[in-house]
């Protein structure tokens, strides 16, 4: 007979295992968000990449694109998944732009709340936050291949 305590411990262990396996997908996967007044609801991966590398100036309505990035592990996930780069490659890319005068890196904010606040205030902004952090102040964009 397995004691109630043992069953409880096994359930907790199983829960932790599931969280460790799928927690990234459930809570850590960044999603792309834009200002609520942005008419677009979908972007391709290539379009997202162009915007966050400073290679697309403006949205189709002429409003300047204003990318914003977030510090921390979420940046590693974003840079790897959406830009196809390592953190080092991404950092060097923007340093090349900066030290040759060809571009300024996007502002870097500390957390989801900071990014939401920026994106909600700037008409042309685009950023990324944790999926769980999406609220009514920003619009989530669907990204297709």
Residues at the site binding other proteins, with contacts judged by CB under 8 A: 46, 50, 55-58, 64, 68, 80, 84-86, 88-89, 91-92, 95-96, 98-105, 107-109, 118
Backbone torsion region of residue 82, taken as left when φ is above 0, otherwise alpha when ψ lies between -120 and 50, otherwise beta:
alpha
Q: Which is nearer to other proteins, 16 or 92 (CB)?
A: 92
Q: Taking the complex as a whole, how short is the minimal distance between the CB of residue 100 and other proteins, in angstroms?
A: 5
Nearer to other proteins, 12 or 108 (CB): 108
Shortest gap between Cβ of 109 and other proteins (angstroms)? 7
* Alpha-carbon span 81 to 29, nearest angstrom: 10
DSSP-assigned letter for residue 54: T
**C-beta of 27: minimal distance to other proteins in Å?**
23
Q: Strands (DSSP E) along 45-124, which ranges? A: 66-67, 69-70, 108-109
C-alpha of 118 from chain center: 13
Closest separation between CB of residue 113 and other proteins, Å? 14
């Amino acid at each position: 007979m397995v004691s109630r305590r043992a069953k409880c411990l096994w359930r907790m262990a199983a829960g932790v295992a599931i969280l460790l396996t799928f927690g990234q997908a459930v809570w850590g996967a960044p999603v792309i968000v834009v200002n609520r007044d942005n008419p677009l609801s979908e972007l391709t991966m290539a379009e997202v990449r162009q915007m966050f590398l400073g290679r697309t100036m403006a949205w189709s309505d002429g409003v300047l694109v204003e990318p914003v990035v977030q510090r921390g592990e979420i940046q590693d996930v974003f840079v790897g998944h959406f830009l196809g780069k390592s953190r080092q490659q991404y950092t060097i890319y923007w340093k090349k732009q900066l030290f040759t005068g060809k571009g300024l890196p996007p502002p870097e904010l500390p957390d989801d709340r900071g990014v939401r606040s920026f994106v909600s205030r700037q008409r042309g902004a685009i950023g990324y936050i944790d999926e769980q952090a999406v609220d009514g102040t920003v619009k989530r964009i669907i990204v297709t291949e």
